[in-house]
Structure 1
Amino acid sequence: MKTLYKIGGSAALTQATIYIFGFILLIGSLNPEASSLSINERLAFLSSNQALYQLWIFVIYVLFGVVLVFLSFALNGILKAKKPILSGIAVIFGYIWSVLVIASGMITNIGLEAALAQQPKNIQQASQLWLTIETLQNGLGGGVEVVGGIWVLLVTLAGLKAHQLPKVMHWLGLLVGLAGILTVIPGLGDLGVVFGLLQIVWFAWLGIVLLKTKD
């Protein structure tokens, strides 16, 4: 059990760090990509910042998804003794979220290379391809956080009912989960930013608590 707390705590702190890295890079060097540029302008910007953008995508999607597997596994091991049903459902959603974000990152990076390779030949076809890639990426996890929200909500409910980990942290988890789930509603996609920012606090808090918990 002690090993599960170490795995879970380390994974949670890593997730918080990944989120911070992602937000800093997005606000700084990659900010123009998030502004109201046309599809052609976005592709031109990414052509000039390809290496940095692909690193960003790899960290916040692929690496995040890999670490999420370890966190989901650890939390399931910690909570399943008292709440096996909720914990079991939660870990399934955790694995699903992991697959979605990893797939989203890989499709985006490979798709960008394909679009940039097409750019010198036919800019319109390259832009259309990148628009398709952006749509796939947003659908898989870049724009809708419902699966992640459900996972956080289920983990939080399992923790509350099992009386494990701080109750205040679980109330924060309820807010995080709700913010993620609401992004599925048209017009509420901006709640994804709230979901991400609150998750930084939740992940960091969870990681510290798990690492300090004794078997």
Structure 2
Amino acid sequence: MVNHLQKIAGVAALFQALIYIAAFAFFGAFWAFPTDADATEKFAFLTHHQTILSLVNLTMYVVFGVLLAVLVLALHQRLKSKAPVLSQLAATFGIIWVGLVIASGMIANIGLAVAITLSAKDAEQAMTLWITVNTIVEGLGGGNEVVGGLWLLLLAIAALKINALPKLLSYFSLFIGVVGILTIYPAEVLTEIFGLGQIVWFVWLGVILLMSSQAELNKNVKEQ
């Protein structure tokens, strides 16, 4: 059962990396929001693209959060026997991050729908609401990665203490965790470093979890 969970978590980590890449690609190459337009034109654009934006929010927040919950549980399972306190503390921040990420997606989509409806009556008031919603989403997790950074940092410390993960991966996790904590200062470059670092981390971790679960399976087969 434990080995099965590690395998599922490895797959989840790889999908999380794909979600990050897809989000970067979407907003970097395809999303052409008219920032210089007036409120009416902006909401005409949002109305036209509401479905795709809602799906993107659902994927990069809610689906990502569900996959993250699996990964948090699996890593806690991996670390708890030899580092119970650190593992439990890390899992606490991991679960909080899950909640914040999923909440961000739900608020983003409900806020989008309400703002678009309001824009038919008062575009300026709707824009004020839209800015407020975006600020809340950014504060919860879209542009602030402190909680996620703490999770990574504590995971790295625990993994280094008991050699639960490759040392290079643990040191990389330590670095990305510190960057995440530093995003408490609103600098876009820090958020971008954290995001790009997370892509590498999720892929790396996913491969390690899949390889270790397969190695454990092969070991069990030989012992039978």
Instruction: State TM-score, norm by structure 1.
Output: 0.93
Q: Which residue of 1 aligns with 2:122?
A: 122
Unaligned runs of 5+ in 2: 217-224
| Identity in percent | 47
What displacement does 1:199 show?
0.5
Contact 1:16 1:203 in 2 (8 A): yes
Q: Residue type of the partner of 2:97? A: W
Q: Which residue of 2 aligns with 1:53?
A: 53
Q: Which residue of 2 aligns with 1:209?
A: 208
Unaligned runs of 5+ in 1: none
Matched, 1:107 2:110: no
Aligned counterparts of 2:170 and 2:61: Cα–Cα separation in 1: 25
Q: Which residue of 2 aligns with 1:177?
A: 177
Q: Residue type of the partner of 2:207? A: I
Aligned counterparts of 1:42 and 1:89: Cα–Cα separation in 2: 43
What pairs with 1:35-46 in structure 2 (closer than 5 Å)?
A: 36-37=35-36, 40=39, 42-46=42-46
What displacement does 1:38 show?
6.1
Q: Which residue of 1 aligns with 2:90?
A: 90
What displacement does 1:91 show?
0.6
Give the match's secondary structure for 2:157: helix
RMSD between aligned alpha carbons?
1.6
Aligned counterparts of 1:191 and 1:201: Cα–Cα separation in 2: 16
What pairs with 1:8-27 in structure 2 (closer than 5 Å)?
A: 8-27=9-28
Aligned length: 212
Bigger radius of gyration: 2
Deviation string, structure 1 residues 20-42 (Cα, Å, up to 9, x no partner): 11111111221x33x85467254
Contact 1:39 1:127 in 2 (8 A): no
What displacement does 1:43 show?
3.6
Give the match's secondary structure for 2:30: coil
Deviation string, structure 1 residues 31-87 (Cα, Å, up to 9, x no partner): x33x85467254443222111111111111111111111000000001111111111
